[in-house]
Amino acid sequence: MDVVIEVLTKNHCREIFDCGDSNLNKYLHRYAMQDINRRINKVFVAVDSAGSKTICAYYGLCAGTVDVVDLPILIRQKLPKYPLPVVLLSRLAVDQKHQGKGLGAVMLADALCRVTRASEVIAVYAVIVDATDSQAAGVYKQFGFLPLPSNPLKLFIPLDTIRKLVE
Ligand SMILES: CC(C)(COP(=O)(O)OP(=O)(O)OC[C@H]1O[C@@H](n2cnc3c(N)ncnc32)[C@H](O)[C@@H]1OP(=O)(O)O)[C@@H](O)C(=O)NCCC(=O)NCCS
């Protein structure tokens, strides 16, 4: 199936999305549109390119910071001591009907490309994700994310690494 990835609007069918994780489902059903309207989160959805408004997958992006002391020691030696600007990949979920077919990888690549473009106008040191469990963390590690020493379920990937992957 070919998909397009676009910003969530009130015209998308949010209610029937089911990724198997009730918190991630509830976020899309109830809170994602509110967060977009309040400029707290930007939520992107994958829909069938044939024009359907049924959501196959989604992720969210918002601005944040990371404390330098939370980064691995070899990396933080080269950085200033104050909090660094990052983008938080706040959620990533694929509807159960579409899982295991590469859509999660497509969504992650799309998110990293968007952040790379944003980094041309605003400084971003890294992308950070909160994995729901160690299995989800494994998915991110496959893409080059590294766990923070202070919390293995919080992972980061420096923009320098993303730019090399994108090029
Ligand atoms: C996790 C999730 C986003 C992955 O999306 P997907 O479309 O099923 O994954 P893909 O088919 O794109 O697979 C991407 C890679 O991750 C791996 N992978 C997928 N699910 C995995 C899991 N649960 N554990 C370990 N690896 C996994 C795949 O093997 C694949 O690697 P490969 O290319 O080397 O084969 C999706 O299964 C999902 O929404 N799960 C429920 C919600 C969730 O856990 N979200 C993560 C929040 S942090």
pLDDT in tens, 103-162: 999 999 999 999 999 999 999 999 999 999 999 999 999 999 999 999 999 999 999 999
Our count of domains for the chain comes to 1
Domain containing residue 29: CATH number: 3.40.630.30
pLDDT beyond 90 at 164: no
Helix (H/G/I), strand (E/B), else coil: 129: strand
Query: What pLDDT is stored for residue 46 in this prediction?
Result: 98
Query: Does any ligand 1 atom lie closer than 6 A to the CB of residue 18?
Result: no
Assess whether the C-beta atom of 138 lies below 6 angstroms from ligand 1: yes
**pLDDT-derived band at 165, boundaries 50, 70, 90:** confident
Query: Is residue 48 within 8 Å of 54, Cβ to Cβ?
Result: yes
What is the span of the domain harbouring residue 149? 3-166
CB distance 101 to ligand 1 below 6 Å: yes
Q: What's the pLDDT score for residue 1?
A: 79
3-state secondary structure of 88: strand
Strand order in the sheet with 126-130: 3-7, 42-48, 55-66, 84-94, 126-130, 151-158, 146-148
What DSSP element (H or E) covers 108?
Answer: helix 103-118
CA pseudo-torsion sign 26, 28, 31, 35: positive
